[in-house]
Amino acid sequence: MKYYLVAGEASGDLHGANLMKALKGLDPNAEFRFFGGDLMQAEGGTLVKHYADMAYMGFVEVIANLPTILKNLKQCKLDINAWQPDVLVLIDFPGFNLKIAAYAKTIGLQVNYYISPKVWAWNQKRVLKIKKIVDHLFCILPFEVDFYKSWGMDVDYVGNPLLDAIAAFNPEADFLQQHKLTGKKIIALLPGSRKQEINYLLPQMISVADRFPGYQFVIAGAPSFDRTFYDQFLGDKNIPVLFNATYNLLSNAYAAVVASGTATLETALFNVPQVVVYKGNALTIAIARMVVKLEFISLVNLIMNSGVVKELIQEDCTTAKINAELDLIINDKTYRENMLANYDRLDERMGQPGASAKTAALIVKYASK
């Protein structure tokens, strides 16, 4: 069968690649065409557009880049129609993908949506639209099943694909030696994969490095950028930037400062105590605070429904507050052990790997009907 996938950011590329791998195991004749990234491209098929040219986050940023977004939408619709896939799989990225879903219904394509839009966070009535334009929704967070059921929508809970990615990961035995990172405990900095996130967050992250001279800070570089992009932030600071090595970095880290997003859950699943940070355009954040009705923003806290990790958002994302939280994580034994104990409970709640295989099996099953 012919599979068309649409992923618009780094996490979608990761989950899309694992899904493609699982689909190939079930369908030896699988053909792929997609919007995605390097990981999906490594699985084979045709990359139509890289997510690096698509990922805009925030109300103001979307408006500023609206012509590019509309151009990308038009290209995606035309390409889907021209290729005529047997299966359409939309991966997260709701601002873009829900528009693609609506279009797909007009040309008679069955719509599979992998990783639910976060409609439970704001404007929950969007579920009514999703019911009309999405045939099969595959959820990865435990609480989403009951949420959709309350709106009269049946969904498939498949578990979380991060568990697949982590289970498949084989750490490099000589990672520390290879990158000359021996001698000091590592504090990982994960500033996100979007340019605007990195611009806001990385200066705050590296501002605390001088306050912990006994530790080695290391930046997880996004694959869509090169070293020169990061050099503009570093000045004379000796902070390595490692690309395509986030899991190796986390498997060796003692603590982390992490941009809110998928990486917060990955960091927790690697049992690395962390402080979660986020900063953005002031108007975007102000609008978000008006419409988003959640007590927490990090996936770790949302899944556990409690403040397992500290969230430092916008005006709280300062050198002094990041420093204070890192100091607790590193030097307060009770505080650190309590966070790790909560991570154990998170592991239990997340369940076992297998999301990619379950989703692939359901997609093939539904397509065959």
Same-domain pairing of 134 and 199: no
- Indicate whether 60 pLDDT > 60: no
Same-domain pairing of 51 and 116: yes
- Indicate whether 282 pLDDT > 70: no
Section 164-172 average pLDDT = 91
Angle CA 352–356–361, to nearest 5: 110
Torsion angle of alpha carbons 176, 177, 183, 189, nearest 10°?
Answer: -30
Query: What values do phi and psi take at 178, rounded to 5?
Result: -60, -35
Section 331-346 average pLDDT = 97
- Indicate whether 101 pLDDT > 80: yes
The domain of 285 spans 169-350
Q: Give all strands (DSSP E) within 29-103, no chain letters.
A: 31-36, 46-50, 87-91
- The pLDDT score that the predictor gives to residue 165 is 86
- Report the predicted TM-score, pTM, of the whole model to 2 decimal places: 0.77
| CA dist 271 → 198, 236, 253, 258, 338 (Å) | 24, 31, 9, 13, 12
Q: Name the least confident of 57-66, 104-113, 130-139, 189-198.
A: 57-66
- The pLDDT score that the predictor gives to residue 270 is 98
- The secondary structure of residue 210, as a DSSP letter, is G
- Indicate whether 47 pLDDT > 80: yes
When mean pLDDT is compared over 120-134, 307-321, 330-344, the highest value belongs to 330-344
- What CATH number does the domain containing 319 carry? 3.40.50.2000
* Residue-wise pLDDT tens digits, 350-361: 888 999 999 999
- The pLDDT score that the predictor gives to residue 274 is 98
pLDDT higher at 118 or 281 = 118
Same-domain pairing of 155 and 27: yes
Closest CA to 257 of 281, 231, 237, 239: 239
Same-domain pairing of 346 and 363: no
**Inter-axis angle of helices 355-368 and 10-26, nearest 10:** 60
Same-domain pairing of 112 and 231: no
Please list, in sequence order, all residues whose beta carbon lies within 8 angstroms of the beta carbon of residue 169, skipping any fewer than 6 positions away. 247, 251
Same-domain pairing of 234 and 107: no
Same-domain pairing of 146 and 224: no
- Indicate whether 124 pLDDT > 70: yes
- The pLDDT score that the predictor gives to residue 87 is 94
Confidence of residue 272 (pLDDT cuts 50, 70, 90): very high
* Residue-wise pLDDT tens digits, 222-266: 988 999 999 999 988 889 999 999 999 999 999 999 999 889 999
Is residue 115 within 8 Å of 138, Cβ to Cβ?
A: yes
